[in-house]
């Protein structure tokens, strides 16, 4: 498959296809931080974010020889990561639903009693991560839909351009604009009463 060499990523993809595995390492080093930041904001957990990024690079490694170069490498990688994050969000919701179900334990005499669900408060490290504004924004991002969260993170935090967003999200330019407008409105509503 032809790949256009328009940047360092294109050169590294070609080097990898020619058998130079250090080229893949260069791609990882160039993009892992940004992908981790996106995953962390999408998933809210450091462990889940690290796993999602690792799985993203594993999938990239397996399919890099088939990468056509229709989009920039970064856009392709972000698309893979988003799909993984979406799957994790769905499975996390299912786990949370199960956790919220009443749990019962039976003691030695056959008496049943409820088991308290796990404490959902953030751990001390997460609670110490920043000021009130950052915490308010993180909470608000957690309240908007995953579709809105991902476009806000990619555009407002990662600075992706509309064309790149369209490629990563698999939608037209006009859809990107309208989705972003709705996402911004949802974020404003989530911040109502917290942010002037």
Q: Is the pTM of this model over 0.85?
A: no
Give the pLDDT band (50/70/90) at residue 122.
low
At residue 79, the pLDDT reads 92
Query: Which has more pLDDT, 91 or 62?
Result: 62
- List, for residues 82-117, the tens digit of each pLDDT value: 999 988 887 765 555 555 544 445 566 656 555 555
Rounded mean pLDDT, 48-66: 93
- List, for residues 22-48, the tens digit of each pLDDT value: 999 999 999 999 999 999 988 888 999
Instruction: Tell me the domains of the chain and their CATH numbers.
Output: 1-119 (1.10.1740.10), 121-191 (1.10.10.10)
At residue 104, the pLDDT reads 46
Query: Which has more pLDDT, 122 or 181?
Result: 181
Query: Is residue 143 helix, strand or coil?
Result: helix
Percent of the chain with pLDDT over 70: 75
At residue 124, the pLDDT reads 59
């Amino acid at each position: 498959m032809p790949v256009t060499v328009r940047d360092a990523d294109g050169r590294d993809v070609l080097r990898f296809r020619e058998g130079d595995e250090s080229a893949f390492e260069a791609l990882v080093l160039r993009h892992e931080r940004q992908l981790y930041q996106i995953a962390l904001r999408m998933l809210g957990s450091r462990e889940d974010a690290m796993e999602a990024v690792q799985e993203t690079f594993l999938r990239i490694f397996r399919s890099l020889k088939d990468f056509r170069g229709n989009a920039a490498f970064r856009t392709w990688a972000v698309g893979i990561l988003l799909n993984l994050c979406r799957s994790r969000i769905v499975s996390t919701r299912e786990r949370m639903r199960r956790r919220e179900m009443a749990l019962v334990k039976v003691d030695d005499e056959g008496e049943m009693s409820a088991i308290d669900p796990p404490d959902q408060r953030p751990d001390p490290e997460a609670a110490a991560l920043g000021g009130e504004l950052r915490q308010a924004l993180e909470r608000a991002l957690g309240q908007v839909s995953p579709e809105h969260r991902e476009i806000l993170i990619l555009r407002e935090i990662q600075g992706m351009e509309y064309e790149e967003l369209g490629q990563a999200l698999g939608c037209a330019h006009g859809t990107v604009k309208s989705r972003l407008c709705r996402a911004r409105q949802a974020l404003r509503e989530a911040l109502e009463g917290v942010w002037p």
